[in-house]
Amino acid sequence: MGPAINKRPVPTSPPKPSRCWPEGALDQALALQRQLAIGDRDWHALKAQRSRRGAEQLAAALVLLLGGDDPSAPQASAARQQAIELVEHGLGWLRGELSDPGCPSHRPATAPQPAGD
């Protein structure tokens, strides 16, 4: 009997780290974010829908996280910090803690204050 032959293929390139984001996840997150984003044409109709605004913020946070963060890194990256801020903002919308301030161009003008003597 001859020596045992290893029949497993030898990788030609190093394997990807096991903690990286799944392939295609960023593309899917981008597609979702684009679908949920409130554009200029729909802004007035949808701006007061808290669930819609929350979902928009959460999808944007996911894009930031997948696009700019290494999940195996022990320290939070700038992208991870920005994603956290967007998640907190999205939660504010979902909890009803935030509301649309309105468009500055549609607010009534304030009367000028009298000058002091």
pLDDT tens digit string along 29-52?
999 999 999 988 888 888 889 999
**Structural domain contains residue 66:** yes
Who's near 47: CB < 8 A, 6+ residues apart? Answer: 38, 53, 100
Q: What percent of the chain has pLDDT over 90?
A: 53
**Structural domain contains residue 108:** no
- pTM of the complete model: 0.71
**Structural domain contains residue 104:** no
Q: How many domains does the chain have?
A: 1
Other beta carbons within 10 angstroms of residue 61's beta carbon come to 23
**Structural domain contains residue 112:** no
**Structural domain contains residue 63:** yes
**Structural domain contains residue 15:** no
Who's near 28: CB < 8 A, 6+ residues apart? Answer: none
**Structural domain contains residue 42:** yes
Whether the CB-CB separation of 72 and 17 falls below 8 Å is answered with: yes
**Structural domain contains residue 81:** yes
Range of the domain at 91: 25-98
pLDDT in tens, 64-92: 999 999 999 989 999 999 999 999 999 99
